[in-house]
A and B are shown apart, each in its own frame.
Chain A
Amino acid sequence: MAELLTAEQIDQFRAHIAHIEHPRELIIDLLRAVQDKHGWVPDEGVELVAGLLGLTPLEVEEIATFYYKIYRRPVGRYPIHICDSICCWSRGGEALAEHLQKSLDIAPGETSADGLFTLLPTCCLGVCGRAPAMMIGRESYGPLNNEDVDRVLAELRQEAQA
């Protein structure tokens, strides 16, 4: 299993925690740091965050499971968030989501056989002027048609091989 946080990151967080009045406010920062490093947040990640903040794993778990962009299950190298809210819907978002499912041969919530892509329907990404849109990792794309999607997927496949 890949590392959850580097020793240096842990030291930095410890120093920060010692400095502030309400360490618990760092919970999302810690969970996001674990996720950035590890790809997703396993049980051990929840326990690590709890240990650093002096909380129980349950107290961390009820935060981790509340937020959609904290992954508590493994995801592919490139999590694809496809917007299914009203502006993207009005400009072909549903057809785009179907195209993604076909191209990747997966249903929403699943990960492609090569382990590269996880398809996650998401609410509005805040790029309504560029609908229909998707976000891969933290990168927003839009407006998109099927060809654009194919091109982006091909680029990422190539990147993964390099």
Chain B
Amino acid sequence: MKQTAQLLFKNRRPGETVFLKEYERAGGYLGLKQALREMQPKQICELVKNSGLRGRGGAGFPTGLKWSFFPADKPAPKYLVCNCDEMEPGTYKDGELLQADPHQLVEGMIISAYALQADTGYIFIRYAYREQFANLQRAIAEATEAGYLGKDILGSGFSFELHVHGSAGRYILGEETALLNGLEGVRPNPRSKPPFPAVRGLFGRPTTVNNVETLSNIQHIVTGGAARFRDLALTVDGAGTKLYGLSGHLERTECFELPVGISLREIIDEYGGGVWRGRRFKSCLPGGASTPFLTSADLDVQLDYQTLEAVGSRFGTGGVTVFDDRTCMVAATLNLIRFFARESCGWCTPCRDGLPLVAWLLEKIEHGDGTRDDLQLLKSQYSNISGNSFCALAEGAMGPVDGLLRHFEQELVDHIEKGRCPFS
């Protein structure tokens, strides 16, 4: 087990939250001072682009490129929104970060807002994160008191105000345009794109939406430089560290900051303590509920965007959920699909009607009542839904179905032929 440089979890200690004094003692807000005193907004955008940082919320869009769409010349108000909906099953890393060190997000947002010349920020946070919400409120009050937030920050002439919005529980709010509707207080169905939020976002104004972990990396890129950030990754194309939340059938289910590009095997064996109860690895979701299953043939894959795409999955959120060899993959997929079907906002037909149909088919097969026709229908539903939904929710829901059909079709067939679940 090699020691990983800790950027995001540097101040993390079990059961504790770091606030302003301690945060500053550990070098906090030096990045902000450096950015405001020594750098032009454009330089920071360029630096972030060169750092290779990609969005940590699941989609993996290059952050610098996203920022380049933001219109620097348009007048205020312009918004920077932080997405802390974090409701994808298996994903809890942003919650861990805000539990440990809320000022990191606040500092990252102030620097990012300066880079984008946004004047107002919102942190959108899920209902269940009560303590993280309170931590952020305190951090914002402390930062305002210390002159890091508000008017004319540290005498730079740059002003930024930051609000926290507590949500009330729906996965669809993690979709950035649904989130913007949620912030505005209208029914949070996703919006059609274009126009993209950079052009017309919150309250019709230019807006950038970034994830908690993404924004918390910005000060480390400012202080350490783009090259150092890239070097943290173990892959040639990769950049930075990643927060990996381990869950499922592992001995140790905790959240770790490790390099982008660490192998699945190392994460499972060294950090997860191996598959629980001395059992064998069967499969995993490498990056949250919407990422296609991997199998034991993939154990040596490096966890990064391109490398996981090459084996038919996605890096997603970095939440690794492991399944042991006694797991029925039909039942696991059914559980995942029920989640997506229930969380569908109901706006478009493939998602609203298609996901319950897929759940019903899987239920039938899992209960031993499935036929070959049902398997055929499952396959056709997979292709009917994929690429045809209004937003990414149903697309994500098809991730595990895709994995099931590619890697575990024999399990589906066994259920049908035996007329029961072979694992129960």
Contacts and interface: CB of A to CB of B under 8 A. Distances in A.
Interface of A: 21-22, 24-29, 31-32, 53, 62-63, 66-70, 84-87, 89-91, 122-131, 135, 138-140
Interface string B241-268: 0000111110001110000000000000
Given A24-B185, A124-B88, A129 B245 contact: yes
Contacts of B336: 86
Nearest to A89: B335
Interface band, chain B: 35 or more
A86 B335 contact: yes
Nearest to B249: A90
Contacts of B188: 66
13 contacts: A22-B184, A22-B203, A24-B186, A25-B165, A28-B166, A69-B127, A86-B248, A86-B285, A87-B253, A124-B89, A126-B95, A128-B90, A128-B319
Contact of A86 (B127, B168, B339): B339
A41 to B, nearest CB: 10
B130 interface: yes
Interface string B291-318: 0000000000000000000000000000
B129 interface: yes
Contact of B89 (A27, A67, A86): A86
Given A62-B187, A128-B319, A29 B166 contact: yes
Contacts of B88: 124
B128 A68 contact: no
Given A123-B342, A126-B128, A68 B169 contact: yes
B332 interface: yes
Contacts of A129: 92, 96, 245-247, 253-255
B185 A28 contact: yes
B164 to A, nearest CB: 11
A121 to B, nearest CB: 9
A67 B339 contact: no
